[in-house]
Amino acid sequence: MFRNDSGNKSLLNRILFYIPRFEREQDQNQSDQFDWFRQSNYTEPIESSKTADEAKQPLFDSYYDFLARADSLESQMTTIGSSSSFTSAVSLSVQDDLSMLSSLIDTHLQTNLKIETSKPTAIKSVKLFQKPYYKEKIKGQEVKVTSWRMKEKMKTISAALVLCLNIGVDPPDIIKTGNSSKLMCWINQSAPQLSPQKILEMIGAELHKQYERWQARARYRLCPDPTSEDVKKLCVSLRKNAREERVLFHYNGHGVPRPTINGEIWVFNKEFTQYIPLSLYEVQTWMGTPSIYVWECSNAGLVVQSFLNFEIDREAEFKKQMEETETTVAVMPNFKDSIHLAACAATELLPQHPDLPLDLFTSCLTTPIKTALYWYVTQKNSCQLIPGLTLDLLEKIPGQISDRRTMMGELNWIFTAITDTIAWNLLDSDLFQKLFRQDLLVASLFRNFLLAERIMKSFDCNPVSHPVLPSTNEHALWQSWDLVLDMCISQLPQLFDSGGNQIGEFVSCGFFTQQIEIFELWLKLNVSSEKAPEQLPVVLQVLLSQQHRLKALELLAKFIDLGPWAVSAALSVGIFPYVLKLLSTQPKELRPLLTFIWAKILAVDRSCQAELVKDNGHVYFVQMLSESDVEPEQKVYSAFVLSTLVNDFPTGQKSAKKSHLIAVCSFVLTDETTRDYANVLLRKWICLCLGLSWNKFAEARWEGVRNNAHQLLLKLAADAEAEVRAAALFALGTYIDAGHDKEGTFEQAIEIDSQIVNTLIKSYDCVFLVRKELILVLNNYLNRFKLNESNEYGLHNQNKTNIVFSKAVATLLDLQNDPYPECALLARHVLSQMLHAESQFESAKRKLIKQIESRIVVLSEDKCHMDTGLVAWCSNYFLKPLLASHGPDSDQPLPVNRQIDLYSNEKLDQHCKILYNYKTRRVPHKWTQPSQMEELVQIQHQPYPIHVKFNPNNEQIFVADIQKNVTVYDNLNRTKLLSFSTILAPNSGAKQSAIIRSFKLINTQHEPIVLTGSDDLVVKFFKPDLHNMKQTQLITAFTAFSSIRESTVEAGLIVEWDETNEMLMCAGDTNYIRVWDMNKELYKDYLTGLKSCVSSLSCGDSFTIAGFGNGCVKLFDFRSSSSAVGIVHSDSASSFYSSTPVLHRTGSMYESKHTYSNQLYAHNSFVLKTCVHAHNNTLISCGILGDINVYDLRYMKKSVDKSFNNEKASALECHPFNRLIAVANSTKQNESIKIYNFEGAELSYIKHREGFMGKRLSTVSCIDWNPNSNEILFGSFDNMITIFRKKDNQH
Residue 1272's H or E segment, with its range, is strand 1271-1276
Nearest to 1078 by CA among 127, 123, 124: 127
Please tell me the predicted confidence (pLDDT) of residue 52.
Answer: 43
1034, 1036, 1041, 1044: CA torsion to nearest 10: 0
How does pLDDT run across 565-604, given as a tens digit for each residue?
Answer: 999 989 988 888 889 988 887 788 888 999 999 999 999 9
DSSP, res 124:
P
Asked whether residue 202 carries a pLDDT value surpassing 90, the answer given is yes
Mean per-residue pLDDT, 487-513: 82
- In this prediction, residue 387 has a pLDDT band, given cuts at 50, 70 and 90, of confident
Distances (CA, A) of 1249 to 417, 637, 1094, 1232, 1288: 84, 67, 35, 10, 17
- In this prediction, residue 481 has a pLDDT band, given cuts at 50, 70 and 90, of very high
CA–CA separation, 12 vs 164, rounded Å? 81
Which of 48-62, 731-745, 809-823 is least confident? 48-62
Number of H helices, E strands in the chain: 44, 41
- In this prediction, residue 813 has a pLDDT band, given cuts at 50, 70 and 90, of very high
Mean per-residue pLDDT, 645-653: 93
Contact 948, 1287 (CB under 8 A): no
Mean pLDDT of the chain: 80
Cβ count within 10 A of residue 894: 13
- In this prediction, residue 1116 has a pLDDT band, given cuts at 50, 70 and 90, of confident
Which of 240-249, 526-535, 731-740, 1199-1208 is least confident? 526-535
| DSSP per position, 504-564 | S------HHHHHHHHHHHHHHHT--SS---TTHHHHHHHTT-TTTHHHHHHHHHHHHTT-H
Non-local CB neighbours of 800 within 8 Å, separated by 6+ positions: 751, 754
Which of 96-100, 762-766, 969-973 is least confident? 96-100
- Crossing angle of helices 746-760/768-783, nearest 10°? 150
Please tell me the predicted confidence (pLDDT) of residue 1006.
Answer: 78
CA–CA separation, 1094 vs 1054, rounded Å? 7
Non-local CB neighbours of 918 within 8 Å, separated by 6+ positions: 18, 20, 109, 113, 115
Q: In terms of pLDDT, which residue wins out, 800 or 955?
A: 955
Q: Is residue 467 reached through a cis peptide bond, with omega within 30 degrees of 0 on the bond before it? A: yes
Please tell me the predicted confidence (pLDDT) of residue 279.
Answer: 93
Scored b (16 or more CB within 10 A) or e, 1072-1107 reads bbbbbbbeebbbbbbbbbbebbbbbbbbbeebbbbb
Mean per-residue pLDDT, 763-789: 87
CA–CA separation, 839 vs 822, rounded Å? 28
CA–CA separation, 208 vs 362, rounded Å? 12
Non-local CB neighbours of 338 within 8 Å, separated by 6+ positions: 284, 289, 290, 291, 292, 293, 307, 311, 466
Which of 204-218, 251-265, 378-392, 803-817 is least confident? 378-392
Non-local CB neighbours of 69 within 8 Å, separated by 6+ positions: 60, 97, 101
- In this prediction, residue 362 has a pLDDT band, given cuts at 50, 70 and 90, of very high
Please tell me the predicted confidence (pLDDT) of residue 1233.
Answer: 92
Asked whether residue 62 carries a pLDDT value surpassing 50, the answer given is no
Distances (CA, A) of 269 to 163, 197, 297: 14, 16, 19
Please tell me the predicted confidence (pLDDT) of residue 48.
Answer: 38
Distances (CA, A) of 866 to 182, 723, 828, 857: 76, 19, 12, 18
Non-local CB neighbours of 406 within 8 Å, separated by 6+ positions: 398, 399, 400, 506
Nearest to 718 by CA among 728, 707, 703: 728
Mean per-residue pLDDT, 480-486: 91
| DSSP per position, 991-1056 | -TT--EEEEEEE-TTSS-EEEEEETTSEEEEEE--TTTT-PPEEEEEEES-S-----SS----EEE
Which of 250-264, 323-337, 1047-1061 is least confident? 323-337
Please tell me the predicted confidence (pLDDT) of residue 991.
Answer: 55
Mean per-residue pLDDT, 805-825: 91
How does pLDDT run across 941-997, given as a tens digit for each residue?
Answer: 988 999 999 988 778 899 999 999 999 998 888 889 999 998 876 444 455 568 899
**Beta-bridge mates of residue 187:** 184
Q: Which amino acid is at 630?
A: V
CA–CA separation, 501 vs 631, rounded Å? 54
Contact 304, 202 (CB under 8 A): no
Contact 1226, 1216 (CB under 8 A): no
Mean per-residue pLDDT, 414-436: 91
Please tell me the predicted confidence (pLDDT) of residue 941.
Answer: 92
Please tell me the predicted confidence (pLDDT) of residue 417.
Answer: 92
The three-class DSSP label of residue 439 is coil
- In this prediction, residue 1257 has a pLDDT band, given cuts at 50, 70 and 90, of confident
How does pLDDT run across 301-319, given as a tens digit for each residue?
Answer: 999 999 999 988 888 888 8
Nearest to 588 by CA among 631, 558, 557, 559: 631
Asked whether residue 5 carries a pLDDT value surpassing 50, the answer given is no
Please tell me the predicted confidence (pLDDT) of residue 505.
Answer: 82
**Beta-bridge mates of residue 1077:** 1063, 1082
Asked whether residue 548 carries a pLDDT value surpassing 50, the answer given is yes
DSSP, res 62:
S
Scored b (16 or more CB within 10 A) or e, 283-316 reads bbebbbbbbbbbbbbbbbbbbbbbbeebbeebee
Please tell me the predicted confidence (pLDDT) of residue 790.
Answer: 45
Please tell me the predicted confidence (pLDDT) of residue 689.
Answer: 96
Q: Which amino acid is at 679?
A: N
Q: Which amino acid is at 215?
A: Q
How does pLDDT run across 150-185, given as a tens digit for each residue?
Answer: 767 788 999 999 999 988 888 888 777 767 788 899
Give ∠ CA 198-201-207 in degrees, rounded to 5. Answer: 140
| DSSP per position, 685-734 | HHHHHHHHHTTT-HHHHHHHHHTTHHHHHHHHTT-SSHHHHHHHHHHHHH
Q: How far is CA 1025 from the centre of its chain?
A: 22
CA–CA separation, 78 vs 1101, rounded Å? 44
Please tell me the predicted confidence (pLDDT) of residue 888.
Answer: 39
Residue 1286's H or E segment, with its range, is strand 1280-1286
Give ∠ CA 887-522-893 in degrees, rounded to 5. Answer: 50
Could you give the percent of the chain with pLDDT greater than 90? Answer: 38
Could you give the percent of the chain with pLDDT greater than 70? Answer: 79
Please tell me the predicted confidence (pLDDT) of residue 24.
Answer: 36
Q: In terms of pLDDT, which residue wins out, 398 or 772?
A: 772
Contact 1179, 1191 (CB under 8 A): yes
Please tell me the predicted confidence (pLDDT) of residue 185.
Answer: 92
How does pLDDT run across 995-1023, given as a tens digit for each residue?
Answer: 899 999 998 877 889 999 998 899 999 99
How does pLDDT run across 203-233, given as a tens digit for each residue?
Answer: 999 999 999 999 988 999 999 999 999 999 9
Residue 1211's H or E segment, with its range, is strand 1209-1214
Instruction: Kindly tell me the sign of the dihedral angle through the C-alpha atoms of 172, 176, 178, 183.
Output: negative
Asked whether residue 113 carries a pLDDT value surpassing 70, the answer given is no
Q: What's the pTM? A: 0.81
Q: In terms of pLDDT, which residue wins out, 696 or 1123?
A: 696
Q: In terms of pLDDT, which residue wins out, 1205 or 267?
A: 267
Residue 66's H or E segment, with its range, is helix 63-81
**Beta-bridge mates of residue 268:** 275
Helices (H), 327-428: 360-366, 368-380, 382-385, 391-394, 407-426
Please tell me the predicted confidence (pLDDT) of residue 1121.
Answer: 53
Contact 1048, 686 (CB under 8 A): no
Please tell me the predicted confidence (pLDDT) of residue 1120.
Answer: 63
How does pLDDT run across 869-928, given as a tens digit for each residue?
Answer: 999 999 999 999 888 644 434 333 322 222 333 333 444 445 445 545 555 555 567 888
- Tell me, letter by letter, the H, E, C secondary structure of 8-52: CCCHHHHHHHHCCHHHHHCCCCCHHHHHHHHHHCCCCCCCCCCCH
Please tell me the predicted confidence (pLDDT) of residue 88.
Answer: 34
Asked whether residue 618 carries a pLDDT value surpassing 80, the answer given is yes
Strands (E), 850-944: 933-940
Please tell me the predicted confidence (pLDDT) of residue 330.
Answer: 56
How does pLDDT run across 856-873, given as a tens digit for each residue?
Answer: 888 876 666 778 899 999
Nearest to 455 by CA among 325, 344, 298: 344
Mean per-residue pLDDT, 795-819: 83
